[in-house]
Structure formats: C-alpha cells, structure tokens
C-alpha cells in the first residue's frame, strides 16, 4: 500500500463555515490526512457536534469554535484556538 501523497501530519487546518456541507467535508478531509483541525460556525451547539463528527471520522483532534466571521473579537479568539 502506498502512503497518501497528501499528508498533513503536524499541521493545523482552520476551516470556517464547517458546521455542515462543504466546510464540514473539507474539515473531515484535513483530519483524515493527519492535520489537527479547528472549525468554526455561528452556533456553538452545531459546531461542537460537527467537531465530534470530524474527530470520529477523521481520527484527528478537532476543536469547534463558535464564531461570527463579521466579529473581529470572535475572529481573534478563533485564531488563538488554532495556535
């Protein structure tokens, strides 16, 4: 079996709008490729559930952060969670 050429071990991926749809699929792909993942969405309950789903499927650490993209303070908190 050949190892995947797309490995992100030791990297952190930040995905906004990841509570469902394309953003959630991208977060799962990053996790499956070995990256630790930080995801954000507007609703805390929804993004925390999505983070659990990413961890369960991808096997990598995933942190969910409630964040409105238009709120500068929330954006700063999101970046702190990712670093």
Residue-wise pLDDT for 19-68, tens only, equals 999 999 999 999 999 999 999 999 999 999 999 999 998 778 999 999 88
Tokens at residue 19, please? 């509570």
The DSSP secondary-structure symbol of 70 reads T
Q: Which domains does the chain have, with CATH numbers?
A: 12-82 (3.40.50.720)
What are 66's strand-pairing partners? 41
Q: What is the pTM of this model?
A: 0.85
> How far, in Å, CA of 74 to CA of 57, rounded?
27
């Amino acid at each position: 079996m050949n190892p995947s050429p797309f490995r992100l071990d030791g990297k952190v991926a930040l995905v906004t709008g990841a509570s469902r749809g394309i953003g959630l699929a991208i977060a799962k792909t990053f996790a499956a490729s070995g990256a630790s993942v930080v995801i954000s969405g507007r609703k805390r309950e929804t993004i925390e559930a999505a983070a659990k789903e990413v961890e369960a499927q991808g096997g990598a650490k995933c942190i969910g952060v409630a964040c409105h993209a238009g709120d500068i303070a929330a954006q700063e908190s999101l970046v702190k969670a990712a670093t």
